[in-house]
Amino acid sequence: MLSIAIPSSALINENDPKIKTFKVGTIARACAIFRVEEILIYRDPKLDESDFIKDILEYMETPQYLRKYLIPIKPTLRYAGVLPPLQIPSHRPKRLKVGEVREGVVRRVAPDGTCWVDIGVNALASLKPKRKLKRGARVTVRVCSKRPLVVEEVRPKEYWGYEVRKVELKDVLRRKNVVITSKECEVVKPDELRETLKNPLTLVFGSPEEDVFEIAERLGLNMECPCWNTIPMQGVRSVRLEEAILATLAIVNWVRWSYEV
């Protein structure tokens, strides 16, 4: 599993909520492009916009036809119109095919446990779950038949999106196989990256104003994690967070593909 961790102060250099929204959208696109499965937002007391970032990330990951059921109206989503679509496999069009996997939300539950699920088409699909589901639950299903519309719960085999969690930096650093990213570190070598990718990896990024070491020092945390510089010979004074994420994930993706790890 590939995870990234970003600070709650990730947008500290921006004041315009529309630009903030768009920047989070850029991060979400980078994560989806390179199949990040988990985005952690670690709390930075200097500026805690965890809820703002989380709301936008989750909004983007949710299929369009489910948002009206799963995403309540919030001030944080005021400028959601500027967000680019993720277009990940779970964001299916209305055209329905037998055998395809889709996301759905439980709309009704019958006394016998049968669920009626909205999967983004005009009719509700019948689902007989192996576990107890409640109204409003999000489920991943495979289309078994179109007439009648019947589905079954499955685990998707392809990349299906990311989960978002709010955490503390100290908890992130306790994970196994955590790597800090900073221009102050040594340039990562392909062989080192290849070995690291054999296990679930968490990449930790700093804020636009401070790297992870500075944030950790301010929080009174000691770090003994490997550290990579993934953008050697940078031609600008500073690399923006969204740019660092994109560049780092591109390198990780190349190694995963080249060595099939």
Report the CATH number that the domain containing residue 120 is assigned in CATH.
Answer: 2.40.50.140
Instruction: Check whether residue 81 and residue 107 sit in a common domain.
Output: no
24 within some domain: yes
Same structural domain, 148 and 24: no
Check whether residue 131 and residue 249 sit in a common domain: no
On the question of pLDDT at 197 being above 90, the answer is no
Could you tell me if 247 and 175 lie in one domain?
yes
Q: Is residue 47 part of a domain?
A: yes
Q: Please identify, among 136, 153, 170, the residue that sits at the C-terminal boundary of a domain.
A: 153
Please give the residue that has the higher pLDDT: either 95 or 155: 155
Distance CA 190, CA 255 (A): 7
Least confident of 116-125, 154-163, 182-191: 182-191
Asked if 167 and 149 sit in the same domain, the reply is no
What's the pLDDT band for 139 if we cut at 50, 70, 90?
very high
Is 80 exceeded by the pLDDT of residue 31?
yes
Over residues 142-160, mean pLDDT: 93
Across residues 198-208, what is the average pLDDT?
A: 93
Q: Is the pLDDT of residue 259 over 80?
A: no
pLDDT at 49 over 70: yes
Average pLDDT over residues 97-110: 93
On average, the pLDDT of the chain sits at 92
Residue 92 lies in a domain: no
Assess whether pLDDT exceeds 90 at residue 250: yes
Q: What is the pLDDT of residue 207?
A: 93
In a domain, residue 94? The reply is: no
Number of domains in the chain: 2
One domain for residues 227 and 248:
yes
Distances in Å between the alpha carbon of 3 and those of 90, 188, 230, 248? 19, 18, 16, 12
Q: Rounded to an integer, what distance in angstroms lies between the CA atom of residue 223 and that of residue 232?
A: 23
Is residue 91 in a domain?
Answer: no
Both 123 and 30 in one domain: the answer is no
How many other CB atoms are there within 10 angstroms of residue 15's CB atom? 8
Q: Are residues 165 and 252 in the same domain?
A: yes
Q: Residue 173: inside a domain, yes or no?
A: yes
Do 142 and 64 share a structural domain? no
Poorest-pLDDT segment among 55-59, 74-78, 129-133: 129-133
pLDDT band, residue 261 (cuts 50/70/90):
low
**pTM for the full predicted model:** 0.91
| Cα Rg, the chain, nearest whole Å | 20
Average pLDDT over residues 82-102: 90
**What's the average model confidence in pLDDT over 20-48?**
96
- Give the domain extent around 120: 101-153
Given strand 163-167, what is the order of strands in its sheet? 163-167, 38-42, 2-7, 201-204, 178-181, 227-228
Q: Please give the C-alpha separations between residue 218 and each of 181, 201, 213, 214, in angstroms, as whole numbers.
A: 17, 25, 9, 6
